Structure 1
Amino acid sequence: MSRIDDDNDLSVIGYLLFKKVVIEGANTISSPLTYGFPAITGFLGSFHAMSRKMADDEILSEVSLGGVLLACHDCQPHMYRPNTYNNYTFNQTRNPIKKDGKTASIIEEGKCRLVMTFVVEILGSDHLTDEQQDYAKQKTIQWLQQQRMAGGSVQGLARFEPVQFFDSHDIGSVIPQLLPAFVLMDAQDEFTQIIDTVKKEKPDTTPLDVLIDVCALHHIPETQKNGDTKWLTTSRKSGHGWLVPIPIGYQGISELFEAGTMQNVRNPEYPSQYVEAIYSLGKWVYPQRLGSIGGDNDIANAFWRYRYDVSDALYLLTQKQAL
């Protein structure tokens, strides 16, 4: 199942590539514990909104959007520090004064500038004609620039061929279009390996301890033969690639309330539930490593999709076909 709005009757009939999308003011605080690259939900939510617009379009009503591949060319958090020994702080904006002339309070935010390439699955029952492909590229680039993405505004796309269509059997041709960038992959397997390794040393270690340990650098002094001290820097993620902590969804921590029961929710017409963030590890992979059919880094496994487990109240983002 790969359809964003949970329809199992459709299959992948092609891909839309949005090349070098410049996003200004994206939310760089991805969860209560992590910052840097925006949360994956910020991108999938934007394409989910685009998929709903397709459903209302007469020409594109028979297709929808599925999984999303995220390739990052550049990410610049808006931060500042006066010198190399100080901590970074987010740059804040001064809001206009209020009606009574008093200074408006500052709500601390973290913003960043992104240059991203997205590859999005197109789901349907029949292949698109050339006219439908051209129309889809025209409409999606219009919708992309009209809506928010990860809390930021789309400032522009690549000058040449900003939106491209690829047939489902031509997925390998997408890889050169991603260069130079890094593709965000799921690293739960690596996370499990590191947890098993750490638990052999410290059986009482929790997965959260391991997640924090992966983010840390350990500076270990080593005395040389001449009496001098040499500091060695080690990390738990050494040998596993470029690992980063990421939120991958939410865990329900309350019962599911009927629509209209919970006050002050964004969409009162839907059931609501209190949740907390779920964390795992992601891995930045160079696009040239993708493409091995059937391998761990098969590009077909690089698309992030929604998953919902009703029994455990899990709202997940995953690249795996099954939980």
Structure 2
Amino acid sequence: MSRIDDDDNNSGVVGYLLIKKVVIDSANTISSPITYGFPAITGFLGSFHAMSRKMADDDVLSDVSLGGVLLACHDCQPQMYRPNPYNNYTLNQTRNPIKKDGKTASIIEEGKCRLVMSFVVEVLSETMLSTEQQDSAIQKTKQLVYQQRMAGGSVRELARFEPVQFFETDDISAVIPQLLPAFVLMDAQDEFAQIIDEVQADNSDATPLDALIDVCALHQVPEAKSNGDTNWSTLSRKTGHGWLVPMSIGYQGISELFDAGIMQNVRNPEYCSQYVEAIYSLGKWVYPQRLNRIGGDHDIANAFWRYHYDADQNLYLVTQHHDF
């Protein structure tokens, strides 16, 4: 997936793989230090990046890689519980495995959710795929998707009929009906910028973080009537902007870049490491039929999430915009 940003790479999008109705159990519902619900986008992009590297080992697909990913969610059920309507929700957690003495291990259990997802993945190559390559990509995807963890969860099943399909670049609009009913996750940077301006117009000392928190809040506003009664109305900062949700879109380095093997307890000591902190923005759930606006804000070509690295500002992002 990262090869799409290489300067020496001449690969382009030659088609799309549609993976329908992927049922994922026990996915990580904690998407960042302060957000939960739908898993982090990096959890899905990392899975398809791993699939891309595995597909490259196939002789027929040695010149093929996977690019950006469109995320369409049919269902998301965070595993939560509350004893009555007046209590806060708590995440259902387990304590396994048990230690030799029969006591529970002192581990931090993550929140889990059950997902039903459809994915559209860009297929990259220097030349158009032959019929043999298309069939091989479909069969290889069917095989690898069951072996691959998705956002920390396990893939249980796919759609019963035609779970994986290949579409030519000119047939991308034919993918949209296949995604129904679902919602596609889109970047809402423009809406976020508007909300920041609105919040700062009311309070010049407000920060973008204040605007993000304001989007997540409901304001109960009283209105006194002439007879002495009071009407309460509920106001939200995101009214009129669509179905907005806070999300993590990557990380920013907060330290120097350490050479391989210097930083302790990293996941992979073979690569350079760096201390980072999460970066937040807003996303928007869009109904697939709105993606028919070719060339507009909701053009389906703009719905694919890709990695973006900015060395000057130490930014490690996932974005749908080339000019972030």
**TM-score class, shorter:** over 0.9
Q: Secondary structure at the match of 2:196?
A: helix
Once the 2 structures are TM-superposed, how far is the Cα of residue 132 of structure 1 from its aligned partner? Answer: 1.2
Matched residue type, 1:16: L
Does 1:311 find its partner at 2:301? no
Q: Secondary structure at the match of 2:5?
A: coil
Q: Deviations over 1:274-302 (max 9, x none)?
A: 00000000000000100211100000000
| Structure 1 counterpart of 2:185 | 184
* 1:97-118 residue CA offsets vs partner (Å, 9 max, x unmatched): 2123333235232000000000
1:161 matched to which residue of 2? Answer: 162
How many angstroms apart in 1 are the aligned matches of 2:57 and 2:65?
Answer: 11
- Partner residue of 1:218? 219
Please give the alpha-carbon distance, in whole angstroms, between the structure 2 residues aligned to 1:189 and 1:208: 16
Going from structure 1 to structure 2, the CA distance change for 1:273 and 1:5 (only over 3 Å counts) comes to farther
1:42-88 C-alpha deviation (Å, 9 max, x unpaired)? 00000000011122221111010000000000000000001111000
Contact in 2 for aligned 1:4/1:306 (Cα 8 Å) = no
User: Sequence identity, in percent?
Assistant: 77
- Normalising by structure 2, what TM-score? 0.97
2:96: which partner in 1?
95
2:16 is matched with 15
Q: Which residue of 1 aligns with 2:197?
A: 196
Quick one: which amino acid aligns to residue 53 of structure 2? R
The alignment of Structure 1 onto Structure 2 pairs a total of residues equal to 322
Kindly state the Cα deviation for residue 94 of structure 1 after the two structures are TM-superposed.
Answer: 3.1
Which residue in 1 is equivalent to 2:241? 240
State the SS of the aligned residue for 1:132: helix
Q: Does the 8 Å contact 2:225/2:231 carry over to 1?
A: yes
Contact 2:4 2:11 in 1 (8 A): no
Measured in 2, the distance between the counterparts of 1:223 and 1:322 equals: 48
Query: Any residues of structure 2 matched to 1:1-323 within 5 Å, and which?
Result: 3=2, 6-7=5-6, 8-323=9-324
Can you list the C-alpha shifts for 1:122-179, whole angstroms capped at 9, x where unaligned? 0001111112111111111111100111000000000000000000111100000010
SS at match of 1:290: helix
Distance (Å, rounded) in 2 between the aligned partners of 1:4 and 1:226: 68
Report how far residue 267 of structure 1 moved: 1.1
Greater mean deviation of Cα atoms: 67-76 or 227-236: 227-236
Query: After TM superposition, what 4+ stretches of structure 1 lie above 6 angstroms from structure 2?
Result: none
**Secondary structure of the structure 1 residue equivalent to 2:309:** strand
Give the Cα–Cα distance (whole angstroms) in 1 for the partners of residues 193 and 103 of structure 2: 53
SS at match of 1:42: helix
User: Matches of 1:113 and 1:97 in 2, distance apart?
Assistant: 24
Residue 18 and residue 4 in structure 1: after superposition, are their counterparts in 2 closer, same or farther (change >3 A)? farther
The alignment partner of 1:243 has SS state of: strand
CA distance in 2, matches of 1:320, 1:283: 14
SS class of match (1:160): coil
Offset of residue 21 of structure 1? 0.2
Classify the secondary structure of the residue corresponding to 1:114: strand
Structure 2: gaps (5+ residues): none
- Contact 2:61/2:137 (<8 A) preserved: yes
Which SS does the other structure have where 1:122 is aligned?
Answer: strand
Greater CA drift, 309-318 or 261-270 = 261-270
8 Å CA contact 1:19, 1:157 repeated in 2: yes
Letter of the structure 1 residue corresponding to residue 299 of structure 2: D
Contact 1:198–1:210 (CA<8 Å) still a contact in 2? yes
Q: CA deviation at 1:3?
A: 4.9
So what's the TM-score if we normalise by structure 1? 0.97
Quote the Cα distance in structure 2 between the aligned partners of 1:190 and 1:63.
36
SS in 2 for 1:34: coil
* Structure 1 range deviating more: 198-207 or 301-310: 198-207
| Structure 1 contact 3–64 (Cα < 8 Å) conserved | no
Q: Which moved more, 1:264-273 or 1:153-162?
A: 264-273
Contact 1:251–1:315, Cα closer than 8 Å, also in 2: yes
Using the TM superposition, name which of 42-51 and 106-115 deviates more: 106-115
Work out the CA distance in 2 between the residues paired with 1:67 and 1:198.
Answer: 33
Contact 2:95 2:109 in 1 (8 A): no
Q: Deviations over 1:193-224 (max 9, x none)?
A: 11111111211110000000000000011112
